[in-house]
Amino acid sequence: MRKLKNCELGRKTKEEFKNTEKIPVTVVLDNIRSMNNIGSVFRTSDAFLVEKIFLCGITAKPPHNDIRKTALGATETVEWKYYEKTEDAITELKNKNYKILSIEQVENSILLQNFNIEKNTKYALIFGNEVKGVQQKIVNMSDYCIEIPQEGTKHSLNISVSAGIVLWDFYKRIKNN
């Protein structure tokens, strides 16, 4: 085996990316503190062709050097919008017929692998604050809560890791439908 060179990776240009069909998923970041996490979510969203990211509350917005260093240019490719209040973003998404999914540990959550992704359905995936998670009022506005199964002692994943797991799962299942 030989490692591929960057020129062999088949990377899209910004223009090609903008014109590529996206998966029907919008990411909502609910009060994310770490700009490194924000940048990582942009980069993962670029990799899995997410249609857009909504940045809410204290979540920082590009351009910012601390976002840029982990996003590696994804803030230039992935569409994004800022909302002062997460509930305003959720209301807008509900009005556009998105299924609202909080990624959170709650009563009666659905394990990620058991959630049925429906064809011709748009999804908003909400990821919460590093300490407090998704706000309860946002959980209350959600159609479902999805939980990533964890069997160790921590039962806590970094938000950028959670986003990577959930977005990869949605991407592969949507693409294989």
**Does the pLDDT of residue 157 top 90, yes or no?**
yes
Q: Domains of the chain, with CATH numbers?
A: 20-176 (3.40.1280.10)
> Residue 177's pLDDT is what?
80
Residue with tokens 């986003």: 163
The reply to whether the predicted model has a pTM over 0.85 is: yes
Sequence-separated (6 or more) residues with CB below 8 Å from residue 131: 33
Distance of CA 35 to the CA centre of its chain: 14
Report the pLDDT value the prediction gives residue 102, as an integer from 0 to 100. 98
**By the 8 A CB rule, do 55 and 35 touch?**
no
pLDDT digit string, tens, across residues 26-65? 999 999 999 999 999 999 999 999 999 999 999 999 999 9
- Judge whether residue 164 has pLDDT over 90: yes
Whole-number pLDDT of residue 16: 96
